[in-house]
Structure 1
Amino acid sequence: SPWIDVTGGLELYSRKLDKAASHQLSETRRRIRRLTRETAAPRFEMNCRDPAIVDLLIKWKDDQCRRTGVASVFQLPWVEPLLKRLLEPADDLFRAMMSVVYFGDRIAAIHYGLRSGPVLHSMLPVYDPELARHSPGLMLYYELIDQGESLGLKRIDMGKGYAAYKTKLANGSCTIAEGAIDFRLGRAALWRGWLRTRDWLRSSPLRGPAHRVNQILSNIRNWLRRPS
């Protein structure tokens, strides 16, 4: 599971980057300057509790799930009140933290994470799809890196998986494991078979076609579930 050490802010972070990650940071800074010229100066809110921003985050994430064919949980009735409740003032032992990047009055990206002491778990990053070419999501992460230590953060946990953006942002990682115990032998055997098949598909040349088939099936399911 990749993570980002934010101690020392962006200055110290940038000194330890490899060539690809350093290029990404330089390119993101260039895009910030370009977007500033096209719109307005950027503004970063580290600890936002505005419920209207939560509503926008849910809308963007739900739209993102629909575009990519991923099952969305954001229409479930308990999701919105839970996300808002976790933002209520509490100590740093456990609470949610939402951060926002603006350009002028326009929201470019939102990050919703869960904080435990000095660690922030990156849970729901999302950005305005109309600004995708400017990489607003990366802009937000770099702001978190730069200002995180001022709020007592030492690490941003990116969560399991090695998506390209995680690999380029991360400067460390740890090993995690997952498993399940099921005393129903038949179901346990089916579960083991599914896990082996999933892992094989992810590492095989069929990964791309399988993902496209899954997207098609998800779109069909969503269409069938639409109210008539």
Structure 2
Amino acid sequence: MRPSDLGDAELKRWRDIRTSHRDLANPFLAPEFTLGVGRFRDTVRVAVVENGSGVAAFFPYERGPLGTGRPVGAGLTDLQGLVAPPGLHLNARALLRACGLGVWDFDHLLAHQPAFAPFHRARRSEPVMDLSGGFAAFEDGLRRGAPKTHKTIRYKERKLGRDVGDVTYAFSSASAADLDRLMGWKSGQYHRTGRTDRFARPWIVALVRHFHETGFGVLSVLSAGGEPVSMHFGLRDGHVMAGWFPAYDTRFGRYSPGMIGHLRLAEGCAAHGVTEIAMGRGGKEFKEGFKGREIPIAEGRVARVTAAAGLHWARTAPLNRARGAVLDHPALYRCADQVLRTYARLRPGAGGRRDGGGGRAS
């Protein structure tokens, strides 16, 4: 069914199931995320799985041409899968058949779910900041585990204050102007690094604004001398924050405002009842110092024997293998990142744009 067709009882059951495993608490697996994307994407569906005693699981997905399927908001999500109790065994191909899908690709799937385990092509992990002991305990752990990182952040924060003005932090800004500024910085960063500009797609801009207005999204702002220098827009559901769109003003790049913002985000989250921040998969070495645990994730595909599934495989498999090799080897990742940056500088119209930095290397 369409997400908007889910009734109150079904939404309650969805939320209840999410309490059965700590990783299901991630905001990307909340009904609010699927409902939000469904407002702007007509392709979003939710399969409701029932057994003799009622609803057993939910399977949110997007349906593409010729029965090709993908996770809801693919390319924007850091966690995907069934909303189901641990150990629930389903026949994945039968699930796809019931959904009218010939194939379903995933790249951030909860690796512990048995239904999709036979279809994993690669396994990785998503780092998570653990704030359950409070910010002081978290910072102490960072100081001991990554002393150079901690010392550098605090030094640059003091220098930013001396050079620019008092450093302040707002955990949650309701300002639409601040949000527009962040999206502008992020678009600039995408162009500067040769990535696809997420905010060139109107539906993504509308989705982010929707989450900001409803409070499912939290916009945090780091300022110096009264001027924003770094921001982060994340999704919050209960005690878990999912990092989503961090960015900074490159005029202040020498102060590493993104790293200062991450430490201030941890402090702000701890003060507002958030005990975990999921940081997203790979790409940034500093995440190693921040992480307290990891969520095992997998990428792969489930396919039935259909002509459309075969065509989809032929079109996507080589690219997926190449991307996986880059993600698994830091030297290749750095080389690919440099190639994209060089391409961004050389392509027509690349000069003269004020941009932002920070964030995921998608």
**Is TM more than 0.5 here?**
yes
Q: How many angstroms does 1:166 deviate by?
A: 1.6
Partner in structure 1 of residue 43 of structure 2: none
Partner in structure 2 of residue 79 of structure 1: 204
Q: Secondary structure at the match of 1:180?
A: strand
Partner in structure 2 of residue 35 of structure 1: 160
Q: How many angstroms does 1:222 deviate by?
A: 6.5
Task: Work out the CA distance in 2 between the residues paired with 1:196 and 1:122.
Answer: 26
Distance 1:28 1:219, change over 3 A: closer
Distance 1:87 1:12, change over 3 A: same
Are positions 1:69 and 2:194 aligned together?
yes
Partner in structure 1 of residue 278 of structure 2: 157
Aligned length: 220
The two structures have a TM-score, normalised by structure 1, of 0.84
Q: How many angstroms does 1:171 deviate by?
A: 2.1
Q: Does the CA-based 8 Å contact 1:10-1:142 persist in structure 2?
A: no
Q: How many angstroms does 1:117 deviate by?
A: 1.3
Query: Residues 155-203 of structure 1, C-alpha deviation per residue, up to 9 Å, x if partnerless?
Result: 0000111411222222221211133335421321443333223333453
Partner in structure 1 of residue 358 of structure 2: none
What amino acid sits opposite 2:185 in the alignment?
Answer: W
Partner in structure 2 of residue 45 of structure 1: 170
What do you get for the CA RMSD once the two structures are aligned? 2.5
Are positions 1:57 and 2:215 aligned together?
no
Task: Work out the CA distance in 1 between the residues paired with 2:224 and 2:300.
Answer: 43
What amino acid sits opposite 1:160 in the alignment?
Answer: R
Q: Does the CA-based 8 Å contact 1:9-1:147 persist in structure 2?
A: no
* Contiguous gaps of at least 5 residues in structure 1: none
Task: Work out the CA distance in 2 between the residues paired with 1:214 and 1:34.
Answer: 31
Q: Which has the higher strand share?
A: 2
Q: Secondary structure at the match of 1:179?
A: strand
What amino acid sits opposite 1:117 in the alignment?
Answer: G
Partner in structure 2 of residue 120 of structure 1: 241
Within a 5 Å distance, the mapping from 1:49-198 to structure 2 comes to 49-90=174-215, 95-182=216-303, 183=306, 184-198=309-323
Q: How many angstroms does 1:19 deviate by?
A: 5.1
Of 54-63 and 166-175, deviating more is 166-175
Task: Work out the CA distance in 2 between the residues paired with 1:211 and 1:69.
Answer: 8
Q: Does the CA-based 8 Å contact 1:9-1:145 persist in structure 2?
A: no
Q: How many angstroms does 1:151 deviate by?
A: 1.5
Task: Work out the CA distance in 1 between the residues paired with 2:331 and 2:157.
Answer: 37
Of 16-25 and 169-178, deviating more is 16-25
Task: Work out the CA distance in 2 between the residues paired with 1:147 and 1:24.
Answer: 19
Q: Secondary structure at the match of 2:179?
A: helix
Query: Residues 14-45 of structure 1, C-alpha deviation per residue, up to 9 Å, x if partnerless?
Result: 22236562221122111111111112211111
Q: Does the CA-based 8 Å contact 1:119-1:154 persist in structure 2?
A: yes
Q: How many angstroms does 1:133 deviate by?
A: 1.2
Q: Secondary structure at the match of 1:78?
A: helix
Q: Between Structure 1 and Structure 2, whose CA radius of gyration is higher?
A: 2
Task: Work out the CA distance in 1 between the residues paired with 2:264 and 2:164.
Answer: 19
Q: Secondary structure at the match of 1:48?
A: coil
What amino acid sits opposite 1:34 in the alignment?
Answer: K
* Contiguous gaps of at least 5 residues in structure 2: 1-125, 351-362
What amino acid sits opposite 2:195 in the alignment?
Answer: V
